[in-house]
Amino acid sequence: MPGTGEAGRGNAPDASGTGGTGTGRPGRTGRTGVWLIGARGSVATTVIAGCAALVAGLHEPAGMVTESAAFADVPLPPLESLVFGGHDITSCPLPKRAEQLAAGGVLPHGLPRSVQTELAAADAEIRPGGPGPGDTRDDETLIASFAADLRTFRSTHALDRVVVINVASTEAAPGAGDSAGHGLAAERVPGERLAADRLPASSRYALAALRAGCAYVNFTPSTGLHHPLLQDMARCSGLPYAGRDGKTGQTLLRSVLAPMMAQRALTVRAWSGTNLLGGGDGAALADPAAAAAKNAGKAAVLRDTLGELPPGDLHIDNVPALGDWKTAWDHIAVDGFLGSRVILQTIWQGCDSALAAPLVLDLARLVAAAHAAGLSGPLPELGFYFKDPDGGPAALADQYTALTTTFATRLREAHA
């Protein structure tokens, strides 16, 4: 069952190597670990509960590209083979967190009780992150501890491989409020900053993944493997990695609309936007430095597609009453034929955790398959999922082609 790696609901792969009763896709016998940084947060809880619900046949896999026809013959790890664990500095158990999300309308009513066993099993695999308030451990001690947690997780559950995915709160942008450029906010400790000679929290977890031989995905705009001290290590590690900053809502729409304007030879004169959100993301992004890190990826999509960033600001406002729901609004001014002005306004409303969860499950399976296929280094073909990917095209349609054609072919050929 998801989150345990033990016998249970559809968990045991069959002798044919297809992964048992789940998707029926071609794949390897064995299990894949999914280690979530920020494992008790809204996104991680939705990922774990959602995977259990899909394996049990309680819901359809809406939003999962890996469950579409494009990947029908690609050797991906079955959903029932995924084993969940992670790091977090909070102590709220996953079953209780899931009940909170259900009360807020994020998870379906009754789902937490239906998958309580899977949630409890995953919760038992969550280890203390850090540093929290008063934690005096230095970087090397923290990284060694995190890497040891990953090795223990892999050996305890006899996992073929582990993919580490960062879904923790956004850190401040590098250099914000720190002349050395290293003083980023510690994970989920508002107001606390690290010394200038320390790695950001996301980079410590990323380095631990490399040391433990784990593939890595950065679903946040935080530094992670993009830290200058880690980039060469990542390239030489022989491991696949992808990121950064999951493209779930407003930027997803921007990556469709901006190419449309460019392809129709329309000049964008201004592009402004506002995000209203609550929950943990709203609280984290109330920090201007963290908001700047988030906005950088949103701006990059427009700049890369249009050739330059149009005038206009993007605001992120914390509205606690919204909880885990958000509203994103864009106002786009375009010059049309003979100088006629065209105005386009869009509104995107949804639950960020529910938008992110299927993407996280996709990425866990795709990066695990890349690791099994012997691929290493950045995976630009996964740019479809990110605001700030490691190369590849900027337009969503081109990114989709790279994912479902180029990348899918690489995986098929590697396993042929």
Determine the pLDDT at residue 151: 98
Q: Is the pLDDT of residue 19 over 90?
A: no
Instruction: Tell me the pLDDT tens digit for each residue of 363-407.
Output: 999 999 999 999 999 999 999 999 999 999 888 999 999 999 999
Mean pLDDT confidence for 64-80: 96
Residue with tokens 């280890």: 127
- CATH classification of the domain holding 322: 3.30.360.10
Mean pLDDT confidence for 237-246: 96
Q: Is the pLDDT of residue 211 over 50?
A: yes
The answer to whether residues 345 and 370 belong to one domain is: no
User: In the chain, how many domains are there?
Assistant: 2
Helix axes 94-103, 42-55, angle to 10 degrees: 90
The answer to whether residue 6 is domain-embedded is: no
Instruction: Tell me the pLDDT tens digit for each residue of 128-153.
Output: 998 878 888 999 999 999 999 999 99
Residue 10 has which token pair? 């559809």
Specify the DSSP element, H or E, that contains 47: helix 42-55
Determine the pLDDT at residue 369: 97
* Predicted TM-score of the model (pTM): 0.86
Structure confidence at residue 174 as a pLDDT band (50, 70, 90)? low
Determine the pLDDT at residue 192: 34
Rounded distance between C-alpha atoms, residue 20 and residue 30, angstroms: 11
The answer to whether residues 263 and 408 belong to one domain is: no
Nearest CA to 161 out of 391, 375, 393, 406 is that of: 375
Determine the pLDDT at residue 406: 96
* Beta bridge partners of residue 343, listed in sequence order: 333
The answer to whether residue 13 is domain-embedded is: no
The answer to whether residues 165 and 224 belong to one domain is: yes
Query: Average model confidence (pLDDT) for the chain?
Result: 86
Determine the pLDDT at residue 286: 78
- CATH classification of the domain holding 367: 3.40.50.720
The answer to whether residues 153 and 240 belong to one domain is: yes
Helix locations, 56-199, DSSP H: 94-103, 111-114, 116-123, 139-156
The answer to whether residues 105 and 227 belong to one domain is: yes
Question: Using an 8 Å Cβ cutoff, are 164 and 214 in contact?
Answer: yes
Determine the pLDDT at residue 175: 60
**Under DSSP, is residue 121 helix (H, G, I), strand (E, B) or coil?**
helix
Q: Is the pLDDT of residue 173 over 80?
A: no
The answer to whether residues 218 and 104 belong to one domain is: yes
Structure confidence at residue 30 as a pLDDT band (50, 70, 90)? low
The answer to whether residue 280 is domain-embedded is: yes
Question: Of 324, 350, 376, which one is at a domain's C-terminal end?
Answer: 350
Mean pLDDT confidence for 56-75: 96
Contacts of 228 (CB under 8 A, 6+ apart): none
Determine the pLDDT at residue 293: 73
Determine the pLDDT at residue 291: 78
Mean pLDDT confidence for 63-88: 97
Q: Which residue has the higher pLDDT, 141 or 278?
A: 141
Question: Using an 8 Å Cβ cutoff, are 89 and 28 in contact?
Answer: no
Determine the pLDDT at residue 1: 40
The answer to whether residues 110 and 129 belong to one domain is: yes
The answer to whether residues 375 and 299 belong to one domain is: no
The answer to whether residue 394 is domain-embedded is: yes
Mean pLDDT confidence for 19-23: 35
Determine the pLDDT at residue 161: 97
Quote the domain boundaries for residue 266.
250-350
Question: Is the bond preceding residue 131 a cis peptide, omega within 30 degrees?
Answer: yes
Q: Is the pLDDT of residue 348 over 80?
A: yes
The answer to whether residue 303 is domain-embedded is: yes
The answer to whether residue 17 is domain-embedded is: no
